[in-house]
Chains A and B, each alone.
Chain A
Amino acid sequence: GEQVEQRPPHLSVREGDSAIIICTYTDSATAYFSWYKQEAGAGLQLLMSVLSNVDRKEEQGLTVLLNKKDKRLSLNLTAAHPGDSAVYFCAVRRSNNRIFFGDGTQLVVKP
């Protein structure tokens, strides 16, 4: 079945630095890709989603890159701030409607 590997599991950056999180997946039939943010004790908040025909999407300081050849999805938080500290998850949806999540990245942004 589908496997989604997310790295790094923990990431610490200084305020203003970039933070990059990467997911790799195995099934080339994967159609939708999303990134979620989960703050401590809270639910999952959708950050951005892209279709398989999109290579790059930018919104409000976030950049999502999709490399279908390498089956790699990345999230780049440019100029991270302490409020970005949270756990981030990637999610991929296959054509059979199954949705798989990465194990999460704990991001800490230090002032």
Chain B
Amino acid sequence: GGIITQTPKFLIGQEGQKLTLKCQQNFNHDTMYWYRQDSGKGLRLIYYSITENDLQKGDLSEGYDASREKKSSFSLTVTSAQKNEMAVFLCASWGGSQNTLYFGAGTRLSVL
């Protein structure tokens, strides 16, 4: 079976800082996603990518950049961290025999 690895697990930043979150998958899936989950809330789509070097904006793309330089990796950049921002960022890839999303464990962001 495959796995999705997100790094770092915890990220503490300063207001205005540029922060990068990384995601690697070894499923060989084409499509990958970045979601943001705020405490007690659902998942909101930030960016997704259907293949290497492809980027598609989600509903929450403002304030973020993404990069898909390799099929196996999809990174997300917070362009300017907002003070007191706290959320979990989830990376996922789509595929497999069940045709569904496989999630990483998440990166928990706190901004001081």
Number of interface residues of B (CB under 8 A): 24
- Asked if B59 contacts A51 (CB within 8 A), the reply is no
B residues 33-66 touching A (CB-CB < 8 Å)? 33, 35, 41-45, 48, 50, 56, 58-59
CB-CB < 8 A to B56: which residues of A?
97-98
Whether the Cβ atoms of A99 and B42 lie closer than 8 Å is no
Binds B, one of A63-71, A74-82, A101-109: A101-109
Chain A residues with CB under 8 Å of B43's CB are: 89, 101
The chain A residue with its CB closest to the CB of B102 is: A46
Within the assembled complex, what's the spacing in Å between the Cα atoms of A97 and B47? 11
Is there contact, CB below 8 Å, between B103 and A100? no
Our count of residue pairs bridging A and B at CB distance below 8 angstroms stands at: 50
**Smallest CB–CB gap between B2 and chain A, Å?**
14
Q: Lowest 8 CB-CB distances: which A-B pairs, in order?
A: A103-B42, A101-B43, A49-B100, A101-B42, A44-B103, A104-B42, A43-B103, A43-B105
Excluding A44-B101, A104-B42, 19 further A-B contacts by CB distance (< 8 Å) are A1-B59, A43-B104, A44-B103, A46-B98, A46-B101, A46-B102, A51-B99, A89-B43, A97-B50, A97-B94, A98-B45, A98-B48, A98-B56, A99-B48, A99-B101, A100-B45, A101-B43, A101-B44, A103-B41
Between A and B, 18 residue pairs with Cβ closer than 8 Å are: A6-B42, A43-B104, A43-B106, A44-B90, A46-B102, A49-B98, A51-B99, A89-B43, A91-B101, A97-B50, A98-B45, A98-B56, A99-B33, A99-B48, A99-B101, A100-B45, A101-B35, A103-B41
Chain A residues at the B interface, C-beta cutoff of 8 Å = 1, 6, 32, 34, 43-44, 46, 49, 51, 89, 91, 93, 97-104
